Structure 1
Amino acid sequence: MNYTTQMDAARKGIVTREMEIVAKKEGIKVEKLMRLVARGEVAIPANKNHKNIEPEGVGNGLRTKINVNLGISKDCNDVEKELEKVKVAVEMKAEAIMDLSCYGKTQEFRQKLIGMSPAMIGTVPMYDAVGFYDKELKELTAEELLKVIETHAKDGVDFMTIHAGINKETAEVFKRNPRLTNLVSRGGALMFAWMQLNGKENPFYEHFDKVLDICEKYDVTISLGDACRPGSIADSTDPSQIKELMTLGELTKKAWERNVQVIIEGPGHMALNEIKANMMLEKKLCYGAPFYVLGPIVTDIAPGYDHITSAIGGAIAASTGADFLCYVTPAEHLRLPDLNDMKEGIIATKIAAHAADIAKGVKGARKWDNEMSDARKNLDWNKMIELAIDPEKAKKYRENSRPEDEKTCTMCGKMCAVRNMNKVMSGKNLNVLRDDE
């Protein structure tokens, strides 16, 4: 039986190779996964032209996935450095990589990225449009913008951020409700500017059926972009954000009618006490579609540490409904991340995702923690390092400060509670000041 997309297959009762792989990774029955894909509660982004992909599922009941942003800019256009980041991101088991290149002819880099990455690949075609045609923003036509989407799809991109929700209605709501930080979404701001400069409707909204034609043909998952995501905690959960979210819900239903998979993108910057309600709103207004959040960054005062502010918000978001976390690095708001920034961003986001999976009761999530706790009880330092989310750093810290008693560490030495409890509970003598007898 033929099918066009993963959703189409699921609705026809066809178990695809991708579904089998995802079900095995998640430890669930493939029939259950198929039902979730059919309802749109899980997406499996897997472009037909991305031949070496190792598929992942994003959505309800599955492990929280993370995305790594890469790509060149005009000021930092070293392709080799970005390709090195790709290698490391794959080694660190990031489930997704987004190419956010916004300078020059990006297709060569994008094709190399897709060819070498088993992780799912995302892009934002709007970033590419100016360089693709070597035209100023105002001069781009609707047909040309759609052509960029088709080019990315042909190249094998698995999911694309499409800012279709910033239509004329949403733009008017934004203009009537001033913000502290206006629009901070790069693609959203470009689309808003295009609309204002040309006095026309957003072509991705006006011609959404044509966008769906492309996505259905290649099985590209639409990641419906949040042009109005808050760029400060002052702007969160405001009329612009909610109006756009309502529009994204309407577009989700249109996409599902065509068997096109959908992910919804969300905030942004947001105070801790608003996160849970925002997760509920997205799931309600977008009919349970998978939710992809940047952070949320929970305070605006920590440039250089926004991987931490983001991980705090990400853990809360994912534990209360978000399915996919976009990493944030220490370089956020300051510069293009370097390799070390990327590593720190990945680790911080993986910690947030795993903490959320424990809270959500995702199958097998606690097993890793229990194994680490057992290694700590047994003072098995090699096993602790092996199990660490960042073994390289754990090993470095251990080796940089060696204790007198190799079973302990230099924090407590022979006063180590674990060492002493092990001895006492097994009926052995305990010496703290002198060598053991």
Structure 2
Amino acid sequence: MEYSTQMNAARRGLITKEMEAVARKEGVAVENLRDLIARGQVVIPANKNHKTLDPCGIGRGLRTKINVNLGVSKDCCHGETELEKARVAIELKADAIMDLSCYGKTAEFRRRLITMSSVAVGTVPVYDAVGYYDKDLREITPEEFLGVVEKHAADGVDFMTIHAGVNRETAARFKKTPRLTNIVSRGGALLFAWMELNGRENPFYEYFDDLLEICRRYDVTISLGDACRPGCLKDATDAAQIQELITLGELTRRAWEKDVQVMIEGPGHMPLNEIGPNMLLEKKLCHGAPFYVLGPLVTDIAPGYDHITSAIGGAIAAAHGADFLCYVTPAEHLRLPTLEDMKEGIIASRIAAHAADIAKGIPGARQWDDAMSEARRKLDWEKMFQLAIDPEKARRYREESRPEKEDSCTMCGEMCAVRNMNRVMGDPGPV
């Protein structure tokens, strides 16, 4: 039977090949997965034109997923370098890649990325619009904004960040609510500026139904962007952020009426104690739709280490219900990330996601840790390396400082508690 989107199929009781693939990878019953998709609590970003995709599910009861941002800018316009990052990101088990390109031959880069990517690819069409039309922001028409969405969808983009919630009502609330860092979302700032320059409604909000028709045609998942996400701790959970979230909840229902899959994007920078309540708010106001967070970064004082501040916040957010973590690298706030920056960001995000999956009781999550603990008890170094989230780094650290006794390390040597307890307890030690 024909179906228009994964949600449409699920609501008709159909099981698609994408649902079967996700259920297999997650170890869940495909009928249960189908029902969650029908209710909007799980999405499978899978554009009909993305032929190389190995689909993944995002949402309730599934492993926490991570996204990697990359792309070309005017200052760093090296497409081959960014494609190499994408290749390495996939090797490092990223679940999705967002192309944030905003300069140069963006269409060529995007198509090459989609062709080589086995994971879901996302974009932010408003970034591309200014460069694509080569005109001042204020002169871009609503039809032209939607035209870029159509081009991205036709190319095979699986999910798109659309800042439809920063409408004139949200903008008015923002202007009445003093902020330390104003609007830090690039897409949100562009659309806010467009509205101010033209005295008009946000085109993605005004023509949301037209946007939905495009997404339905190609089965593009909408990632409803958080233009008013806090850019510092002081701005967290303010009136503008919550006003936008309420609007995103209303837009979610409108999308579901058209069988269009939806994710919700969230903060941002946020104190530790506000993360849990924010996750609850999103799930309540947006009807259980999957939540996609940038971080949250739990302190503002760590440039060069924001992959750590983000991983702390990401673990807490996911443990409280967030479903999708956008990685942050050590280069955040400083420059375009290098390949090594990207790797550090991915590993930090994967650690956060896995820690949260253990807390959420995701089936099979703890088995990995238990296997590592067994290898440590046996001082089975090779098995430890195989199980490590970053085997290369673990091996390198071991080789850089070899112990006198192979069944120890240079921290404790003959005083190694594990080694001595094995001898006392009669355990075999290394195998």
Same fold? TM cut 0.5 = yes
Report SS of the residue matched to 1:264: strand
Q: Partners of 1:31 and 1:82 in 2: how far apart?
A: 38
Q: Which residue of 1 aligns with 2:76?
A: 76
Q: Which runs of 5+ in 1 are unaligned?
A: 429-437
Q: Which amino acid is the alignment partner of residue 353 of structure 1?
A: A
Offset, 1:93:
1.1
Q: Which residue of 1 aligns with 2:24?
A: 24
Offset, 1:392:
0.4
Q: Partners of 2:318 and 2:130 in 1: how far apart?
A: 35
Q: Partners of 1:78 and 1:114 in 2: how far apart?
A: 17
Identity of matched residues, %: 73
| Residue pairs, 1:82-101, within 5 angstroms | 82-101=82-101
Q: Partners of 1:427 and 1:147 in 2: how far apart?
A: 67
Whether 1:108 and 2:95 are equivalent positions in the alignment is: no
Is 1:236–1:269's contact at 8 Å kept on the other side of the alignment?
yes
Q: Which amino acid is the alignment partner of residue 25 of structure 1?
A: K
Q: Which residue of 2 aligns with 1:310?
A: 310
Q: Which residue of 1 aligns with 2:125?
A: 125
Offset, 1:105:
2.9
Q: Partners of 2:65 and 2:246 in 1: how far apart?
A: 24
Q: Which residue of 2 aligns with 1:212?
A: 212
Report SS of the residue matched to 2:325: strand
CA deviation profile, 1:152-208 (whole Å, cap 9, x unmatched): 000000000000000000000000001000000000000000000000000000000
CA deviation profile, 1:91-113 (whole Å, cap 9, x unmatched): 11101000000112300000000
Q: Which amino acid is the alignment partner of residue 197 of structure 1?
A: L
Q: Which residue of 2 aligns with 1:197?
A: 197
Q: Partners of 2:236 and 2:416 in 1: how far apart?
A: 46
Q: Which residue of 2 aligns with 1:434?
A: none
Report SS of the residue matched to 2:231: coil
Q: Partners of 1:374 and 1:237 in 2: how far apart?
A: 43
Q: Partners of 2:427 and 2:388 in 1: how far apart?
A: 31
Q: Which residue of 2 aligns with 1:287?
A: 287
| Residue pairs, 1:21-420, within 5 angstroms | 21-420=21-420
Q: Partners of 1:102 and 1:2 in 2: how far apart?
A: 36
Q: Normalising to structure 1: TM-score of the pair?
A: 0.97
Report SS of the residue matched to 1:160: strand
Q: Partners of 1:427 and 1:261 in 2: how far apart?
A: 53
Q: Which amino acid is the alignment partner of residue 278 of structure 2?
A: N
Q: Which residue of 1 aligns with 2:4?
A: 4
Q: Partners of 1:14 and 1:97 in 2: how far apart?
A: 28
Q: Which amino acid is the alignment partner of residue 424 of structure 1?
A: V
Runs of 4+ in 1 over 6 A off after TM superposition: none
Q: Which amino acid is the alignment partner of residue 147 of structure 1?
A: G
Q: Which amino acid is the alignment partner of residue 284 of structure 2?
A: K
State the Cα RMSD in Å. Answer: 0.7
Is 1:105–1:131's contact at 8 Å kept on the other side of the alignment?
no
Q: Partners of 2:25 and 2:86 in 1: how far apart?
A: 22
Offset, 1:2:
1.5
Q: Partners of 2:65 and 2:207 in 1: how far apart?
A: 31
Offset, 1:427:
8.5
Offset, 1:136:
1.1
Number of aligned residue pairs: 428
Q: Partners of 1:190 and 1:427 in 2: how far apart?
A: 64
Q: Partners of 1:119 and 1:24 in 2: how far apart?
A: 16
Report SS of the residue matched to 2:131: helix
Report SS of the residue matched to 1:3: coil
Report SS of the residue matched to 2:358: helix
